[in-house]
Structure 1
Amino acid sequence: MQTMSELAVTILMPCLNEAETLAFCVRQAVAALRDNNISGEVVVADNGSTDGSQEIATDEGARVVPVPVRGYGAALMAGIEAAHGKYVLMADADASYDFGQLPRFLAKLEEGNDLVMGNRFSGEIKPGAMPPLHRYLGNPVLSAIGRIFFKIPARDFHCGIRAFRRDAMLGLNLRTTGMEFASEMVVKSSLANLRLAEVPTTLSPDGRSRAPHLRTWRDGWRHLRFLLLFSPRWLFLYPGIITFFVGALLSLWLLPGPQTVGRWTFDVDTLTYSLGLVLIGAHISVFAVSARVFGTQEGFLPPNPKFERIFNYINLEVGLIFGCILLLVGLGILGYAVNIWHGAGFGDLSPQRMLRLTLPSATCFMLGVEAIFGSFFLSLLGMNRR
């Protein structure tokens, strides 16, 4: 008889009141192990069911792991921690996925992949199995964002059936407890340079009579929010750089004097907003660097060698010097403006002319202060911690 340490795979199902379909799913999973002569177990991570799901799972041959913390991610993480298999195949207990497809997932894992995703779009989506909003908007858009942000090769980012090496997944320090756990698993696998593959899979209509736990807009936003928070480049850096340079170019265009395009004339009012874009862009860029440093220190994001090399040259002292130079530039422009005012006997001056001096001066002062205190803040974030 094989010991638990020798098990090849754990088939894991999160469960919250799945009495209608749980028996069918557990039987199908047990049959997949038996018919393919695979050493394994079926684990049901129960999230506090009140409909007798625990007894059903036990009667059908599954091991029940009670999970007091509510949430899809909490149930799966507890199940992964309690699993005895080298590999884990996870899928919902609603009869929407075929556990008989286990061998095709294991074959990809045996080839050396760490995470194997199902792909419903290259397999089959049976009529009524996926709402049109999910099929043509939600899944394609979120999958495309995942590929752009994290260079993840998966075409079906949120497929509910997937298999992985248990030790590799435990090493990712997965933390989310809700539906966004599915995104966290894929994103962190990519950031950790784990090998990822896909296999075609079939999605069938939900076998339950009640509404699913998934909430389209709420859970879609939670997935999108997670993708943004785990990509400071796309959330902060790129918008910050674009905003800064758009504002800087417009400002340089307007500093010499009013500019006319067709019947439109742009003057100091536009210059005010342009310099505002410069300040906003600089501030967002500081957020980008701060988020990257904080994420790396706290273990949310992996270390980035390129980023670390930049900080070998741009440190606290460089930031302080740059900030002081900006303050001096602002002070010089202010002195020049005061000198013009003095030449006019401290009387009235042309607002259009003077604003082209006072606005850049004020902007330099604010950027200088941002650089100085931002440098201190980043140094505080970047301090080595015990």
Structure 2
Amino acid sequence: MQSARGDVVLPCLNEAEALPWVLGRVPRGWRALVVDNGSTDGSAELAAGLGARVVHEPRRGFGAACHAGLLAAEAELVAFCDCDASLDPAELPRIAAPVIADDADLVLARRRPTTRGAWPLHARLGNRALSRMTRRRTGVRLHDLGPLRVARRQSLLDLALTDRRSGYPLQMVVRAADAGWRIEETEVPYRPRAGRSKVTGTWRGTWQAVHDMRAVLR
């Protein structure tokens, strides 16, 4: 079997409702790595039945799941994407194109809500504040620190990321900027998630994510 051009890491905690749509949208040439982070709704079994490679990460935390997927990846390119159907994996070839062409080292997807309820106000405000702080810290002008992104696997491993909570995506950007990476941003649609949100859909989840990310900036 021909190896995948890219692996897409899908951190998963009770996403059985979203998995069929998400995995059905993974484009040809990409392999889905579903990192089960302790699901109790049969997500791991469902993902395996749908043809995804399932990685088990017992340590709870978004960063723990993401990093387990990175370590398990084998392809030259690695993407990260939420597993809740808010972001479309079919966008990956377009997002990855600047990295493949060696015009960028990291491409982030800037979320554009398709409906008013897709991205709650408190989550947007928290993200905006963090984007400004990141700009002051790194000089990189970003509008969103969203989870959908693509880079080369070995380069990501070389960043030696240590955060295992919600600060993982931000630590990736900060260390990449410090290493002189060329970082670009492109827009993607952002849809209402399937199922119950564990982070940005709640004030508590958003506060915890902002707290973790501010710790990274400090």
TM category (shorter chain) comes to: over 0.9
Note the C-alpha offset of 1:53. 0.6
Match of 2:206 in 1: 216
Pairing 1:294-309 to 2, within 5 Å after superposition? none
- Structure 1 CA distance for aligned equivalents of residues 197 and 32 of structure 2: 25
The yes-or-no answer on 1:50 pairing with 2:40 is yes
The C-alpha deviation readout for 1:130-175, integer Å capped at 9, x for no partner, is: 111222x21111101101111122221x212111111110000001
Contact 1:147–1:154, Cα closer than 8 Å, also in 2: yes
Match of 1:205 in 2: 192
More helix by share: 1
SS of residue paired to 2:116: coil
Q: What amino acid is aligned across from residue 128 of structure 2 in structure 1?
A: P
Pairing 1:237-386 to 2, within 5 Å after superposition? none
Pairing 1:229-244 to 2, within 5 Å after superposition? none
More strand by share: 2
Identity of aligned residues (%): 37
- Structure 2 CA distance for aligned equivalents of residues 199 and 182 of structure 1: 16
- Structure 1 CA distance for aligned equivalents of residues 80 and 33 of structure 2: 10
Note the C-alpha offset of 1:127. 2.1
Unaligned 5+ runs, structure 2: none
1:189 pairs, out of 166, 176, 181, with 176
SS of residue paired to 1:202: strand
Match of 1:131 in 2: 120
Match of 2:57 in 1: 67
Note the C-alpha offset of 1:84. 1.6
Q: What amino acid is aligned across from residue 81 of structure 2 in structure 1?
A: A
Contact 2:199–2:206, Cα closer than 8 Å, also in 1: no
Question: Which aligned segments of 4 or more residues in structure 1 are displaced greater than 6 angstroms?
Answer: none
Change (3 A) 1:126 1:118: same
Count how many residue pairs are aligned between Structure 1 and Structure 2.
213
Pairing 1:109-148 to 2, within 5 Å after superposition? 109-112=99-102, 113-120=104-111, 123-135=112-124, 137-148=125-136
Note the C-alpha offset of 1:217. 1.4
SS of residue paired to 1:163: strand
Match of 2:75 in 1: 85
- Structure 2 CA distance for aligned equivalents of residues 125 and 116 of structure 1: 21
Contact 2:115–2:191, Cα closer than 8 Å, also in 1: yes
Note the C-alpha offset of 1:45. 0.8
Match of 1:177 in 2: 164
- Structure 2 CA distance for aligned equivalents of residues 69 and 134 of structure 1: 25
Match of 1:19 in 2: 16
Match of 2:146 in 1: 159
The C-alpha deviation readout for 1:282-316, integer Å capped at 9, x for no partner, is: xxxxxxxxxxxxxxxxxxxxxxxxxxxxxxxxxxx
Match of 1:369 in 2: none
- Structure 2 CA distance for aligned equivalents of residues 42 and 134 of structure 1: 27
- Structure 1 CA distance for aligned equivalents of residues 197 and 171 of structure 2: 25
SS of residue paired to 1:116: strand
Contact 2:113–2:119, Cα closer than 8 Å, also in 1: no
Change (3 A) 1:78 1:63: same
- Structure 1 CA distance for aligned equivalents of residues 74 and 30 of structure 2: 8
Match of 1:351 in 2: none
- Structure 1 CA distance for aligned equivalents of residues 98 and 141 of structure 2: 15
Contact 1:104–1:199, Cα closer than 8 Å, also in 2: no
Note the C-alpha offset of 1:199. 1.0
The yes-or-no answer on 1:94 pairing with 2:84 is yes
Change (3 A) 1:180 1:191: same
Unaligned 5+ runs, structure 1: 34-38, 229-386
TM-score, normalising length from structure 2? 0.93
Higher-Rg structure is 1
Q: What amino acid is aligned across from residue 77 of structure 2 in structure 1?
A: Y
TM-score, normalising length from structure 1? 0.53
Contact 1:114–1:194, Cα closer than 8 Å, also in 2: yes
